[in-house]
Amino acid sequence: MAGVAGGNDFQWCFSQVKGAIDEDVAEADIISTVEFNYSGDLLATGDKGGRVVIFQHEQESKNRPHLRGEYNVYSTFQSHEPEFDYLKSLEIEEKINKIRWLPQQNAAHFLLSTNDKTIKLWKISERDKRAEGYNLKDEDGRIRDPYRITSLRVPVLMPMDLMVEASPRRIFANAHTYHINSISVNSDHETYLSADDLRINLWHLEITDRSFNIVDIKPANMEELTEVITAAECHPHQCNVFVYSSSKGTIRLCDMRAAALCDRHSKFFEEPEDPSSRSFFSEIISSISDVKFSHSGRYMMTRDYLSVKVWDLNMENRPVETYQVHEYLRSKLCSLYENDCIFDKFECCWNGSDSAIMTGSYNNFFRMFDRNTRRDITLEASRESSKPRATLKPRKVSTGGKRKKDEISVDSLDFNKKILHTAWHPKDNVIAVAATNNLYIFQDKIN
């Protein structure tokens, strides 16, 4: 796969943008998760209103073979509704926190979607044929009078307009006291884990009325609570291994073969703190907001407030690579604490070959790092640069006194425009970037 930044033969260009153009953004339309399926043919988004929209990749047009096909709406459905917890008198938000696809095993597609409390398994299937010629009912569905039936016929399948149906097949509820932050499908394709602030549960996809608790960090005395679970993921190949990250910047790798309860980790990843950069906010900015295994399973990547780190699973005492996302914010941490931006949870993702990583920032900027060439690039998801096939211009934030042309100063960044969710196609150079209520799709320009 081609590199990320620079070079004469590789450039990112605009492909599509989905969503309303209005300046007034409805809260329910804010995209809260983005995920490609295993083949990259389907792209799912979840929003704060509890809806899931699935886009499907259309085949390339014969007239324009130099372009990849487009993603068009395939299915839209209401996954979660607002609920009320009667025991605690609290409303449960319908916001979709995560979507995870299951590997495709037949013609239908399956995905898991979760809000704060409940996980649902959805089946998305196509129907393009309809049976006609029933014996017991008319074409419009009315039951026929049995005395009128004098002959028997075999119903035939007739083509009909394609209909995509989404139906909930399983509902996994009542297993999380705290807010679910992660779900991850295991490589055995039979189980998956769900993690909230203090506990991680293991489910079987067929069984909804019970789950196994495999991690519990809730202290007996809540006054001793100083750390929460922030993300968890199953290893892509070893079905007994998973990792979870914490608000203190640590990652624990657990082996489910070692014990049924994985409170004791097998490996503990933590980078020693740099004493010269210590501040009141050191712990908050070390809180890990996302953890993702590489496709190879040999590395994992973590995102904290200012950086992305790549860890070798065989080395626990420090990451093998560290990439600064927006180091210019380090001197602004006090203000970012005051306006709550310091609590924003950015996600990160790998490309298909694990040679590049991507994460979001503010001002609708997102950053990509090429692990081989060590080059990085900052791009912007904006309507202004959304002309068809327009090449994206690299952006730069000026940190010094003198601001060059086309650079933007730190003080001019819009902290309300944050890119928290991004996804990279598993095989091709196609990326999906969620900017508040808009979904941008960018692809490389094939020369």
Partner 1 sequence: MILKGQKRKLEPEVVDVSGPSGPLWERQRQFVFSVSLNKYQRGQELPEPSLRRSVLIANTLRQITLEDGGAAEETPPPWFRLQAKEQENFSFSAAISSILTALDSTIDGGPQAAPRPPLRSLENLSSPRLRQSGGEAAKPSYLNDVTMEDLLQDVDASLLERDVGRAAHPAEEELISAKKSWHWLCCGF
Q: Which residues bind partner 1 (CB under 8 A)?
A: 23-25, 27, 30, 83, 86-88, 90-91, 173-175, 177-179, 197-199, 201-202, 209-214, 216, 218, 220, 222-223, 225-228, 230, 247, 260-261, 280-281, 283-284, 287, 331-340, 343, 410-417, 436
Pick the closer one to partner 1 by CB: 125 or 282. 282
| CB of residue 280 to partner 1, shortest distance in Å | 5
In terms of CB distance, is 73 or 171 closer to partner 1?
A: 171
Report the distance separating Cα 221 and Cα 226, nearest Å. Answer: 11
* 75 or 181: CB nearest partner 1: 181
Q: What whole-number distance in Å separates Cα of residue 351 and Cα of residue 358?
A: 8
**Of the two residues 72 and 412, which places its CB atom closer to partner 1 in the complex?**
412
Quote the CA–CA distance of 194 and 188 in Å, as a whole number. Answer: 15
Kindly list the strands in the beta sheet with 267-269, ordered across the sheet, starting from the edge strand earlier in the chain. Answer: 229-234, 241-246, 251-255, 267-269
At closest approach, how far in Å is the CB of 212 from partner 1? 4
Q: For residue 44, which phi and psi values (nearest 5 degrees)?
A: -110, 140
- The structure tokens listed for 192 are 């998956």
Closer to partner 1 by Cβ: residue 23 or 161? 23
* Smaller CB separation from partner 1, 353 or 398: 398
How many other CB atoms are there within 10 angstroms of residue 357's CB atom?
Answer: 26
Report in angstroms how near the CB of residue 260 gets to partner 1 at its nearest.
Answer: 4
**Least separation in angstroms between CB 16 and partner 1:** 22
Q: Which amino acid is at 196?
A: D
As measured in angstroms, the least distance from the Cβ of 76 to partner 1 is 22
Alpha-carbon distance values, 318 to 159, 188, 301, 302, 313 (Å): 59, 30, 12, 12, 10
User: Residue 31 in contact with residue 421, Cβ under 8 Å?
Assistant: yes
Report the C-alpha gap between 2 and 430 in whole angstroms. 12
Instruction: Tell me how far apart the alpha carbons of residues 339 and 91 are, in angstroms, rounded to a whole number.
Output: 25
Task: Give min distance, CB of 126 to partner 1, in A.
Answer: 31
- Other CB atoms within 10 A of residue 215 CB: 22
Closest CA to 249 of 281, 222, 276, 221: 281
Specify the residue, 77 or 281, whose C-beta has the smaller distance to partner 1.
281
Amino acid found at 148? R
Provide, rounded to whole angstroms, the least separation between the CB of residue 189 and partner 1. 20
Residue 283 CB, shortest distance to partner 1, in Å, is 6
Nearer residue to partner 1 within complex by CB, 226 or 322: 226
**Residue 14 near residue 402 (C-beta atoms within 8 A):** no
